[in-house]
Structure 1
C-alpha cells in the first residue's frame, strides 16, 4: 500500500501523459487528413482541387470530361501519399514520446530503425524507384488519364496512373502495365496541339501544280465543314512534294488540330482529298 501511495501519482501522471499524447496524435492526424481531403476536392468540375493549383497542369481542354477525371485521379493519388506520410510522421512522433514517458532510451531504437530502413531500401530499390518516379510524374503532370502516349515499352491511351504502375491500352485493345521506374522518356500526343498529316500518293505523270491547287481548295473547304471545324485550330498547309520513290510521288497536307484529334481528322481529310484529286483529273498512284 505504501508503494502505491509513493508511486501511484507518478504512474497516474505518466499514464495521463501517454493518453494525452495518443489523443493529440489522433486529433492532429484527423485534422490533417481532413485538410488533405479538402485540398484534394474541387468545388466544381471546372475548378481544380486546391492541392493542384500550385502545380503546373498540361491537361488539354480537348479531353472534355476526362480533364476532371484526370484532375481527380491526380489529386487523389497525391492526397493518398500525403495521408500516408502524415500518419507515419504523427504516430511515429507519438510512439517516441510514449517510449520516453515509459523511461526507455529511444536512441538505440532510432539507430536500429535507421539501419533497418537502409536495409529495406537496398532490398526494395526497384519499388522505391517506381514510387519516386510515379510521384514526380504526378507532380509534373507529364501525362494523365485519356492521354495518348508513347512510353517506349508501350504506346496507347492511358487508362490509369498509379505511383508504381501506369496502365495503357493500345490500338489492338491490349492492356500494358508499365512500371514507372522503367519509363525513360514520354511522348505525349495529347498536350497543347497536334498535327494531322495526310500523305497522298500520286503517279509520275501527275501535274504537280494542278494537284497542289486542287488539294489546297479541297482541304480549305473540308476544314470549314461542321464535322472538322471544331477540331481544326489553324489554317491547313499544302506542303507539296514530300518524297519521290520508284513507285511514285507523295504530296503532304498538314493541319494543326486539337490534341488527340489528329487521327480522326486525318481519316476525314483523306476521304475528301482523294476524290477531289480524281475530280480534278489528277493521276493517283494505284495501291494494287
Structure 2
C-alpha cells in the first residue's frame, strides 16, 4: 500500500502545483502601432521645435547683422569718412592725420554730423529690433498652431488708438526724424523758430534745446516748429546800416564805407572770415532826418556778427575823420571839432619861444 500511495501522490503532484502561463507573442498590429507612435514623436520633434529653433536663430542672426551694419554706417557718417574708400588708395581725409585735420578745421560741423548720425542710427536700430522681434513672434505663434489673425487685428486697433491718443508725441517724433534727415539745423547753429531764438545745444527726436542771448534754455517740441530760420548754415552775410545827415555828401560817405570795408578785410583775423567784395547801397531809406546807406559783405557761417561789429568800428572812425555827421548829430559834431581845435591850439607851442633860455631873474 505504501508504494501504491507514493505513486499516486507523485501522479497527483503536477496537477496540484500551478504552472506559469506562457507569455503571449507580440502580434504584427502591436508592432506597427509602436512604430507609428515612435515615428510620429520623431516627426514632431523634427517638425515644430526644429522650425521654432530655426526661426529664432535666423531672427537673432538677422537682427545682429542689421544692427552691425547700421552701427558701421552711422560711425562712418559721424566720422565723415566713406565706406568705399579702403586700402592704400584711400584719400588723405581717410587717413588718421587727414581725419584729425578735418575735425580740427570745423569742429561744429563735425559735432553736428556726429549727433545727427548717432540719433538716426539709434532710431534705425530700435526699428530693426521691433520689426525682427515682431516677425519672429508672429512666425512662432503660427508654427504652434495659434491663430494670429486676432492678434494682428488687436495690434492694428491698438496702434490706431495710440495714434489718436498721442498725436502730438507722434508728430514730434516724425518732425524730428525728417528734420534730422533733411539736415535743417544742428548743434551750434543759430536758429529762429518763432517762440525762441538762439544757439542749438542739443537735437533729439522729440525736442530741440535752444539757448537764447539771455542764457535761457528753451525746450521746443519739434512738432510745434512751423518754420525755422537758420542763420549759420552754409554762409552768412554781415549787414551794417548807417544813418547819416540829410545834407551829407553821399559820394564821400560811400568812399568812407569802402575804406572801412577795406580796413576790415586787411585785418589778419577778421579778414579771413570775409568771402567776396562788399556791396554798398547808396540810399536804402530816405526820411526828413536821415539818409540810410547799407554795407553788406558775405562771411563764413556764425561770423557775421563779429564782422559787422568790426565794420561799425571802422565806419565810425572813418566818418569822424571825414567830418560826416550821423543823423541828428551835426551840431554835436561841430562842437566836438571846435573843442578839438581849441585843445590843439592850447597845446601848440607859442611861436618864438622854442629854445629860449629860462628867465634867471
Moved more, 201-210 or 174-183: 201-210
1:279 is aligned to 321
User: Is 1:22 equivalent to 2:84 in the alignment?
Assistant: no
User: Is 1:198 equivalent to 2:240 in the alignment?
Assistant: yes
CA distance in 2, matches of 1:4, 1:88: 40
2:258 is aligned to 216
User: Is 1:147 equivalent to 2:189 in the alignment?
Assistant: yes
TM-score (norm 1): 0.88
Structure 1 gap segments, 5+ residues each: 51-60
Alignment partner of 2:285: what SS? strand
Structure 2 gap segments, 5+ residues each: 1-33, 85-102, 333-361
| Shift of residue 241, structure 1, vs aligned partner | 2.5
Q: 2:71 is matched with which residue: 17, 21, 37?
A: 37
The alignment of Structure 1 onto Structure 2 pairs a total of residues equal to: 277
Residues 194-214 of structure 1 show CA distances to partners (whole Å, capped at 9, x for unaligned) of 111111232334222211112
TM-score (norm 2): 0.71
CA contact (8 A) 1:78 1:138 kept: yes
CA contact (8 A) 1:215 1:276 kept: yes
Residues 170-205 of structure 1 show CA distances to partners (whole Å, capped at 9, x for unaligned) of 111111111111111111111232111111232334
Moved more, 19-28 or 91-100: 19-28
Please give the root-mean-square deviation of Cα atoms over the aligned residues, in Å: 2.5
| Shift of residue 247, structure 1, vs aligned partner | 4.1
CA contact (8 A) 1:131 1:180 kept: yes
1:9 is aligned to 42
| Shift of residue 44, structure 1, vs aligned partner | 8.2
CA distance in 1, matches of 2:53, 2:114: 37
CA distance in 2, matches of 1:78, 1:88: 15
Q: Where is the helix percentage greater, Structure 1 or Structure 2?
A: 2
CA distance in 1, matches of 2:104, 2:190: 12
CA distance in 2, matches of 1:120, 1:244: 59
Select the structure of larger CA radius of gyration.
2
CA distance in 2, matches of 1:172, 1:228: 25
